[in-house]
Structure formats: structure tokens, C-alpha cells
Structure 1
Amino acid sequence: MKLIADPARLSSASGTFEQELAARLHWSSAQDAAIEQRVADILADVQQRGDAAVLETTARFDRLTAASVAELELTQAELKSAHDSLPTVQRDALAAAADRVRRYHAAQKKACGESWSYRDEDGTLLGQKVTPLDRVGIYVPGGKAAYPSSVLMNAIPAQVAGVPEIIMMVPTPGGEKNPLVLAAAYLAGVTRGFTIGGAQAVAALAYGTATVPKVDKITGPGNAYVASAKKRVFGQVGIDMIAGPSEILVLADGTTPPDWVAMDLFSQAEHDELAQSILLCPDADYIAQVAQAMHRLLPEMPRAEIIAASLSGRGALIHTRSMQEACEISNRIAPEHLEISSREPQRWEPLLRHAGAIFMGAYTTESLGDYCAGPNHVLPTSGTARFSSPLGVYDFQKRTSLIEVSEQGAQVLGRIASVLAHGEGLQAHARAAEMRLKSS
């Protein structure tokens, strides 16, 4: 059967555009009931039996048998050995990516992650104390593929934030360990690592076992089991987000080579069949050129079947009235990755309010952001960029309010608090404030 890249062809001028766009954007995050129940059973089992449950579940799902969870732990010597044994070209590329990611997050910490305080005229001190979390867990997907970039993007901002303990969980089906993933863990400052995956890894991090330490927050992407488990343990620990399928939206003015845009759309479609790739452009002829390029390039792609299914099921090539309208539609979609493939990206960027990351100019392919540009590639999906942000240093810090009221300040604040507390019927609150007032 011949595979065809066949995204929907839409026009914003059509009377049915809104309904057609909504149908393309729809994605249900509801998991299969059977998965939800299995995840609930795994979490309860690990919470009750700890290491024993982790061992049994790991043997069942990853075909990895061990006498103890300690045997599943990755030593620092093993991480360093993996790093040192890499081919020079891989080792250098990993180091360069890690350096760029670290520099970006160091700048982020300096901009928004510092403590501050000030004093009122009466001497009262008010401020904010920023401190890192004590221990975090990062989940790195494994199995179908290996993701050293996910190690860098999750561990480095935690390290830059000052988190003293970073615990990595990475599934290794059949016991096969990827040296790039281990080397990335070595470079990124992972404290401890375990070859455990799935819901049992999330449960072990959230509840703690005799071997796996309990963490304060869990970050990192995973399959449906991992997403469901993270959702269920939220509250017991913090989480970064519940990620949906990957997305790319390209705003094009028709000046970028069509092959480049076609391949950028492929770059997200190849993740899985539910991934979404959308092109918004006011030039109908250019849209046709991109469509032709997609048909021509698809047979060359190793993951052609996945790309074709993604584009046919959720992809769209949308003809807009103008670039301004394209920006308006983009804001409504709030995509994970947003490329401004234009000769004047700075002209359109101010109009764009909602996106996980914005890639400006024809040379700024989203792939560079995935691996080595510097900003984090863990981004909000499914329209959540309207109210949430990329993973960053701030996700591994917490803010504590600082209040030191002077004697003089207590005379002013105490009277205000007394009135409001009496109004709420909380007399002890009022009395506590009144006791600090000087008798007149």
C-alpha cells in the first residue's frame, strides 16, 4: 500500500472552518479504563509492598529480573564509564548540548530565581525566600527509543536550581542500557539512577521504598501508564505536567523552501499517530508546494507509516486571509512548538501570546530546540500553553514569603487585622493582633 501524507486542507474563509478546525484539534486525554485500573493496582501494590512490588512489576513489564532493587541501581562509575566510552563525535555533541542547556537555565535562574526583600518606612521587612527542592525524580522514557536529550532537559535545570539529589528512573527492557542516556546522566549531575520504568517507577518515587528514596517532585514524559500514574500521585508529590501528543504549528509567509517546512511538519508527526502538525499560510500556491514536497519526501522517511497516520488523522494545511489572521488562529490553538517561518519573524512575534516555545526565522527548525539550542524542550501541550510554561529552573524551586513586622508596624497592621478578623468572626486572630498594640 502506498503511503500518502494527506493532512486536511482548510480555509479560514470557509463557513465551516471553525467546526473543521475544532475537529482537527480535538484530542481526548481520557485514558483507557483498563490502563487506569492497572495503574491504580500498581501504585497501591508499591505503596504497600515497596521493593518487592517494584521487582515483580519490572520483571513482568521490562523482562528484567533482579534479586533486589539495589541491583537495578546505576552506579556513578557506570555512568562515567558510559560517558568515557562514547565515540568522540557523540561525546562532544552531548557536552555541547549540555553546556548550552546549562547556560540558558543559569540565565533563567538569575532572572527570576533569586530571593528578595525590602523594608517599609516603619521597618517592617517583607520579601521572598527562594530555595531549591530537596529531592526530585526525573523519568526518562525508554523501550522503543532512547532519549538522552530528556535527561539533559530535566536534570540540568534541577541541578542549576540547586537541588541536591536528582533521582533518575529509566526503563531498560531486557536489561539493555543505552550509553548515551547514561552519559547524559553523568554530565547532567544525576545523583542516583534506577533501571525501573512505568507506573512502578512513579510509585516508587512518590511513596519511597526501602531502596528508592521518596522525592518531592516528579518530572519527565512517559507513556499512558506513566501519565496516569503521575496524575494519581499529584498531591503526594509535585509533578511538572500531564503531557499530551507532540505538536508543531508553522506560520509561513511563503519565503521558506517548501521542503524545509514539509520536513518540519514531519518532525513532529513522526513521534506518534496522535501527534499534530499544522501549517498556517496566506499563500495558497505555497501551501500546494508544501503538500507536493510532503508527498515526495514521505517515502524517504523510516517512520513513514507513523507520519502518514499522524498527518491524515490530525494534520492540517490552512489557507488564511493574512499573516495577522494566522497569528490570531495560532493564539487560539496555543501550540507546543510554534515556528515563524518568515522573512520578518520579529514583525509577527509580538502578535503571538500563547505557545510553549517560539522558533523565529527559516533557519530555526524546532529540531534544534529539541536537542541543543538551550531552552527546555519539555513544553505544555493540548492548548495548555494558554496558562502554563516550559519546564525550567522555577519548577525545581519553591518560594517562601518573608515577614518581619517591626513594633511600629504592628501598631498599624494590628488594627487593620483586628477589624478584618472580627468581621470574619475569628476572635482569636483579632486578639493575637490586639495584644501587640500599645495601650493609648
Structure 2
Amino acid sequence: MYVNPFALRSKFLQLSSEKQMKYYQKSIDKFIQLLDDKDIDENAQIEGKLFETLLTKSEQKKYFESISAPIKPVNTAAGYYAEIKKQENDDNPTAWKLLSADEKKKYTNLLRDAKDDYNSQIKHFSENLPERLKVEYLSFVKHPRTTAHVNGSNNENSSPAPISQRRKSVQPIPENFQALIDDAQQKLNRAQLDALHKCKPDVLYYEKKNSDDDRLTFINTTAKNTYIRTIFNQLSEKKKHKFVLKSTRKWEEFLQSHPTIIENQIPTLHLLLAKNDYAHYYFTSLGLPERPPATALLLFNYERQEADSQQNWTDLSQSTKDEFIKRLSKIKRDYHQHFLEFVEKTLPSDYVRLEFFRHIKHAAKDYETAIKDRVDEKDDGQLKITQYLVKKQIIELTPMSEFDRIKQKLLNTDLTHEQRKLVRRLGIIMNKNISS
């Protein structure tokens, strides 16, 4: 027989305080047993706000008060003064304003002492609680230990930035890709977001690990997602990477089934992979070459660590330092060549290239440097600045320059959004035809 939960709630609230407290305690006992049975860790308890699925904030307050939890002092010295005066049967509301600065300071100091005492009481009270309940109590009173206890110094378990902050790329895009970016960036609809969510690595892991019968019930989607993310963060890097690759394969299938996302260049990879480290691993799996050290000193330090040497850079002769500089120059040239091949040949489309530049630090900078350092197939392989300048002058005299001038003139006129998009695409096509 179906029973309306709101009717049950109403009946419960009609019980006496003593009976309500009795069921609070039964509920908490079952909650602690569930945490132990399912081996749910403290991070998931707090980040998923699991205790709030059990008792509301006001019910938590009533429960902790019933077991003699410390009473929090008021926030302001004025409020503290008013409490003292009420105990003295003096309810004059304007009395605080009549006090001198020195008299007010006295109550400010008293309040500070009361807060210090409250924090000491919290520590003592929490030590006498069951371990599972202690975590929830410290979270409830927002004790400083809670934040440090959950997040600590390990970024592995810290929550990623909100999606609203991660939506826009924090990495620059090369100039020749700017035309692909739509000024009025479109977003995914709810159905597309739901489909993409199923491709996430933590979701894939959770669904593989837990059958339908073993999955927990959550009060809302936020609590569920937080719990899933927390258990995924506890995996080894090797296992995480395994599911990152599974996730990106699902993502590629998702893009094939939603061609309008690619056509409109709507970014999606940041919604799939919560950390840029995961995106870097994905592109590395496709063949992204390892970035060389920025300086000869860093190259020397890297090799010194590999050889477990105690020698310092300052101990080297100038000729040896010059050798490191020459070697690094060659390493960078090789890197730029492989980097260009990766971007222009390995990455399958302009859409994936845009996602690449959005997520990989220094990618745009390295790409533009590699373009400048590109060597003609007919060249002997030695880059000369004079050849680069001559080549640049020739390019400036080509029909592409005239087309760019006309394109810019068109874009400065009163075009519709669709017309602007077409002009930009024509520029890309023109550029490809001339360079081929």
C-alpha cells in the first residue's frame, strides 16, 4: 500500500520531542552500521553530505544538543553583551550603543575567550563520539579540522573547479584557429549533457564496479556525483588512466552521434575529464611528444638526477655548457617537428585540435614556434633567419593577403551571425588550398 511520505513526515513531527529523539538515535545507529558495511570513507561522508540525507540541519542541531554538545556562542560582541544583560533581567536594546569603546572592548575580549573555550569543548566532545559520528559532528559545526581532514594537502581528493569556471578555456588558441571559434558560443542541451555524463571515467568505473542491486540511493544527483568522484579518486593512477582511455573512446562515439557539436565547435572535453592531467594523458596516448626542458640548465639537472650525480652546473666548463646548449637546441627542433606532425596529421579534426589547444599548457605557444621553425622539404634542414624573412615577404604578396584584406573588410560590415561564420570558413578553405 502506498503511503504519502509527506503524510508520514507530518505524523512524525506530531510526536513528542522524546519520541523523535528516540528515532533520531535509531536512524543514526543504522547510518553508522551502513557506513561500516559499505566501507564508505570519511571523504565521501562529508563531500557527499550523506548525513544531510539522514537528518535536516535543524534535526542535527536538536540531536547534538540532546547529547550535550557544546553550545556555540553568538557571533558579535553586541549579541554577547545582550545575552549577559538578559541573564541580569536587563532588556534595554540601546544599552550597547551607550557603552564607551573601552567598555565594548571588554565584551569583545570576553566573546573571544568564550569562542576559544567553545573550540576546546568541541575537541573534547568529539573525542568521545563514535568515529563515524565524530566526522559528521565536526562537519556540522564547521570546525577547522574538517576542511584539513577532508582535503589535506593532497589535491587528489580535492574537488575540481565548478563547471562554470572550467567551461572557458584557460589556454590560448593559435591565431590561425581563432576563426573556428564562434563568437556566440553555443552550449549542450540537457539530453546531450546527460549522454556525455555517462561517458565520464568515474561514472564508467562506478557502473562497472557496482551492479544495480549494490548501488546506493542518494537524496540528489549532487550527492551521488560527489560520492562517485570520491571513490574514483582513490584508485591508483594506472587504473584511473585505464578508465580515462575508456571514457575518451566513449566520447569519440558520442561526438560521432552528435555531429552538430563538432559543426558548432561546442567544447565538451572539459565536461568529460575533470582534470587537465587526464586530458594530457589522453593526448599523450595519441602520440603527443614529451616537451623538452626550457633551458640547458634544466636539461643538465634532469640528466644529473637520472645518473644520480652530485655535480653542479657551476662546476662545468664553458665548453661543456655550450654542448648542453647545442644539444637542447637540436632536441627542441626535433620536438617542434614531431609536435607539428602530431597536430596536423595525428589529431583527426579541427574540433579535436581545438580541444587539444584548450587543455594542454604551452600547446599554442609551441605550435606557433614550430610553425616559424618549419623547414621546407627542399631545404637542407638548416634554419636561416634570412630565408624565413624572404619567405614571409613572398607570402605577403600572395593572393591570400588580398583575400585577408577583403575578408576583414567584410567582417567590419553589418553582417548577420551566419554570414560572418561563412566568411571565416571561406578563409580557412582558401588558406588550406594555397598552402597545399
* TM-score (ref. length: structure 1): 0.23
- Higher RCO by CA contacts (8 Å cutoff, separation 6 or greater): 1
- Compute the TM-score of the two structures, normalised by the length of structure 2: 0.23
More strand by share: 1
Question: If each structure's helix is expressed as a fraction of its own residues, which one has the higher value?
Answer: 2
